[in-house]
Structure 1
């Protein structure tokens, strides 16, 4: 069994060895740039871990892993345009560096490149792999659309929010794992179980992100704490508060939404969360999805020893420090 660190290294080498055309330079240079920014490569790592779990050869599964990573980075280019984000992983975003039109076009070509990677898979698994990849990619786009629509909506239910993060974030983890299983020749049932594991883990991870945004240690979390509060982002915590708060506190929350003093806004909103025990309620919701993920992996009929690295990685992802 490979460790995530070993697979991360293998993926980094594979990414460096992708040969994009030299011309037109302004079309392909942004792709080389975004792909070289690194990150944890968690999605392609999960693809290779799933393949390895079913005794698949990781080099045979590599085109699937690279397709997942290329697609993920394509979504980052377009997300950054939609969010008007100046930085990605501490570096200039593609649209800031090359302009919006260039960034859109380079992103489009990345989707083509992802499909080219997939086409290198063995023909016996190609049809199933394409179906999984395309269903996953479509789901991610649906999730992004819902996220944008939620910004305009006054009322968003917790059920709708969970579905949005499932699509926007979690289906890509589920799809990455299912793809790896399929390439390794796993049964339909086992591949679906890998999907269940990845999707539930993805939802739990995003809910944990919501909690850490308010209660995390900024040194350990790696982001500005309270960013979601400043942006009035509809997270699980905010939606749960709106569900439980009395009329007076809802009015206070409304006042805080237009508070220009960010430090004061974070402090007052967090105090409302504390009054209604929102942190613990969100933790319960997060743990439900985390438990579902571990349950899917536990019941998978594969030698227990082969699951060890996946269990360790999942535990690591779900135990980030507050």
Structure 2
């Protein structure tokens, strides 16, 4: 088995999953967003985690798709809240249809996720549903914190890290834990999978923050400096606001306060401030800390060594990505 085998099986399962038919306006948007692609990282990790503990990893396919459906449900609603025009280079659901349809289709996606989770075998079902409910609530909590931060300039590093943990990382942790539970992992190993996934997820988000400023435009896949232009409160900006003093802080606040500016000039000026304050090095250190903690959890897994090595090797590839 290789990750490619899991990816192929996952794509086939997603393709053949049925969400409903009529009214078309309710179900067409679901098929639309699910066909936009994406990395499918979370359901893939569910399958790989299941394979650690069972040869019958295919029984994790429908639950893995449940994770992806839930993830896309959150994206559909997030896009409404962010008034985002594009998702993966295509019009968002609320732009292609309208806000009300996007809200209602998202609601049905959440129902679909529960239906897919019912494929979990009875001995594990109650435990999985309880963990999913907690995770789903945490994702909503993280989104609310993120929206709260939009009007605050006193967001601390600890608050930001907790926000990204809830908004993005706990779902990766659940995806791995889900696979472990389905495969037959005991409580200790299922917890290691979850905690490892959460640590890796935080590291990935911090790396996204870093690449938005320091990434190679040819590899990053989107505009470098977009967070700076939008005054988005990333780890780098929060750290810079805490570290800066005197004229450097005045200059940074000045750029954040301007309503009219040359985008390239602002990106260059704020990046230069980050350079002066050593923000890149601080961020890289924190990224490495979370990745190290994630790998430590995975290394401690009591599982088939060859299969565990595949999970570790695949995760290392994700860590080294630049897009």
Confirm or deny a common fold (TM above 0.5): yes
TM-score, normalised relative to structure 2? 0.97
Indicate the residue corresponding to 1:11 in structure 2: 10
CA distance in 2, matches of 1:166, 1:81: 22
- Quote the residue 2:144 is aligned against: 145
- Measured in 1, the distance between the counterparts of 2:135 and 2:62 equals 16
2: CA distance, partners of 1:166 / 1:20: 29
Q: How far did residue 56 of structure 1 move?
A: 4.9
Residues 273-312 of structure 1 aligned to structure 2 (within 5 Å): 273-312=274-313
- Residue of structure 2 in register with 1:82 after alignment: 81
Tell me if the contact between 2:26 and 2:104 (Cα under 8 Å) persists in the aligned partners. Answer: yes
Q: Deviations over 1:98-130 (max 9, x none)?
A: 100000000000000000011122111100110
**Structure-2 separation of matches of 1:225 and 1:108:** 33
Deviations 1:1-51 (A, max 9, x none): x32222111111101111232211100000011111111110000011100
In structure 2, distance between residues paired with 1:250 and 1:218: 28
Range moving further from structure 2, 204-213 or 299-308: 299-308
Give the aligned CA root-mean-square deviation in angstroms.
1.1
Q: How does 1:243-322 map to 2 (within 5 A)?
A: 243-257=242-256, 258=258, 259-321=260-322
Corresponding residue for residue 102 of structure 1 = 101
**C-alpha distance in 2 between matches for 1:99 and 1:3:** 41
- Matched with 2:184 is 185
Structure 1 segment 104-119 matched on structure 2, within 5 A? 104-119=103-118
Contact map agreement 2:192 2:298 (CA 8 A) in 1:
yes
Structure 2 Cα separation of the partners of residues 117 and 303 of structure 1: 28
Q: Contact 1:8 / 1:40 at 8 angstroms: preserved in 2?
A: no
**Whole-angstrom distance in 2 between the partners of 1:3 and 1:262:** 44
User: What residue is the counterpart of 1:223 in the other structure?
Assistant: 222
Q: Which runs of 4+ in 1 moved over 6 A?
A: none
Shift of 1:304: 2.2
Match of 1:132 in 2: 131
TM-score, normalised to structure 1's length? 0.97
Alpha-carbon distance in structure 2 between the residues aligned to 1:25 and 1:169: 30
Quick check: 2:142–2:166 contact (8 Å CA) kept in 1? yes
2:48 corresponding residue in structure 1:
49
* Distance (whole Å) between structure 2 residues aligned to residue 171 and residue 253 of structure 1: 33
Q: CA deviation at 1:268?
A: 0.2
Whole-angstrom distance in 1 between the partners of 2:31 and 2:69? 10
Contact 1:56 1:183 in 2 (8 A): no
Q: Which deviates more, 14-23 or 186-195?
A: 14-23
Q: Secondary structure at the match of 2:181?
A: helix
Matched, 1:65 2:64: yes
* Partners of 2:53 and 2:304 within 8 A in 1: no
Distance 2:321 2:307 in 1: 24
Unaligned runs of 5+ residues in structure 1 are none
Indicate conservation of the 8 Å contact 1:56/1:185, yes or no: no
Partners in 2 of 1:300 and 1:120 — Cα distance? 25
User: Compared with structure 1, are the counterparts of its residues 30 and 163 closer, same or farther at alpha carbon in structure 2 (3 Å cutoff)?
Assistant: same
Kept in 1: contact 2:213–2:225 (CA 8 A): yes
